[in-house]
Copies of this chain bind each other. A is one copy, B any other.
Amino acid sequence: MTPSPGRRRLPLAERREEILKAATELIAASGFKGVTLEAFAAACGMTKAGLLHHFRSREELLIAVLERRDTLDLTTVAGALEPAPDAATARAVMSGFVRRNLAQRSLVQLYTVLSAEALDPAHPAHAYFRKRLREGRAMLERYLLAWHPDPGAAAVDLLAFLDGLQLNWLRDDGIDFLAQWEAFADRFFAA
């Protein structure tokens, strides 16, 4: 476990980014409970103590991982709905969202594994996921408002299908995510 070129010193921002990226991969694979401080550190060639210089505790690292993905991901989607969009543009936005997720399997897995783990009210990310779900649903509802007869139920419908499809896709990569989505969307956006 000793790093090859002795000691590797990086500027703060750079090392932080490296740690967060590695942590994302690890949590996606084994959940938060499944990864130790030692493992997080080793994944970027340092020691526990070295890592704790950047994040004061294991839990703080988790929060940082989540917040990083939010700023990187959620903001991209939110911009496009200045006027409430019609069915066609709503579908286009959603399809873009799906395609982007498809390209980042480990990220999808991070959120899936972690959000299930965080159903436990004692989990450090419990509050985070509650908030995120509500905000996501509210945002989606605004997308559907202009043209769908029952935006509330439809939002639940769409999110449930996407979450479930992701889950099954992660379990069995024989599933053609894109095809299943497009077929669902054909029906969903026809109404």
Q: Which residue of B lies closest to A162 (CB)?
A: B164
A residues apposed to B, CB below 8 Å: 29-31, 33-34, 109, 112-113, 115-117, 119-120, 122-123, 129-130, 133-134, 153, 156-157, 159-168, 170-172, 175, 179-180, 183-184, 187
B164→A180 contact, CB < 8 A: no
Residues of B within 8 A of A175 (CB): 156
| A59–chain B nearest beta-carbon distance, Å | 14
Contact of A120 with B29 in the complex, beta carbons under 8 Å? yes
Contact B161 A160, beta carbon cutoff 8 Å? yes
18 new A-B contacts, CB < 8 A, other than A31-B117, A164-B166, are: A30-B120, A30-B122, A30-B123, A33-B34, A34-B117, A112-B116, A115-B167, A116-B117, A116-B167, A133-B171, A157-B183, A160-B161, A160-B168, A160-B180, A162-B164, A163-B164, A164-B164, A187-B187
